[in-house]
A = this chain, B = another copy of it.
Amino acid sequence: MKPGHSHVPATQAFANGIPNGGTPANHVTAECARVAPVLSRIGDKWTVLVVTFLGRGPMRFNALRREIGGISQRMLTLTLRSLERDGLVTRTVYATVPPQVEYALTELGRSLLIPVLAIRDWARQNALQIEAAQQHFDALAAAARPACGGVAHTGGRPSAVGVDEIAHLQSER
Contact surface of A with B, Cβ cutoff 8 Å: 1-20, 23-25, 28-46, 48-49, 56-59, 63, 66-71, 77-79, 81-82, 84-88, 108, 111-112, 114-116, 118-124, 126-127, 129-130, 132-134, 136-138, 158, 160-169, 171-172
Contacts A25-B67, A70-B3, A118-B115: A123 and B16 contacting too (C-beta < 8 A)? no
- Chain B residues with CB under 8 Å of A37's CB are 165-166, 171
- Chain B residues with CB under 8 Å of A169's CB are 2-6
Contact assessment for B158 and A68 in the assembled complex, using a CB-CB cutoff below 8 Å = no
Contact assessment for B124 and A31 in the assembled complex, using a CB-CB cutoff below 8 Å = yes
Identify which of B58, B127, B136 contacts A34 (C-beta below 8 A).
Answer: B127
In the bound complex, CA of A79 to CA of B158 (Å): 13
Nearest CB of B to A169, in Å: 4
- Chain B residues with CB under 8 Å of A82's CB are 161-162
Contact assessment for A18 and B165 in the assembled complex, using a CB-CB cutoff below 8 Å = no
In the bound complex, CA of A37 to CA of B119 (Å): 12
Contact assessment for B119 and A45 in the assembled complex, using a CB-CB cutoff below 8 Å = no
Identify which of B23, B41, B57, B120 contacts A35 (C-beta below 8 A).
Answer: B120
Contacts A56-B18, A123-B35, A133-B86: A42 and B45 contacting too (C-beta < 8 A)? no
**Closest chain B residue to A112, Cβ basis:** B122
- Chain B residues with CB under 8 Å of A158's CB are 81
Identify which of B48, B78, B129, B166 contacts A162 (C-beta below 8 A).
Answer: B78
Contacts A3-B69, A37-B166, A86-B133: A44 and B120 contacting too (C-beta < 8 A)? no
Contact assessment for B118 and A69 in the assembled complex, using a CB-CB cutoff below 8 Å = no
Contacts A16-B57, A70-B3, A165-B37: A30 and B118 contacting too (C-beta < 8 A)? no
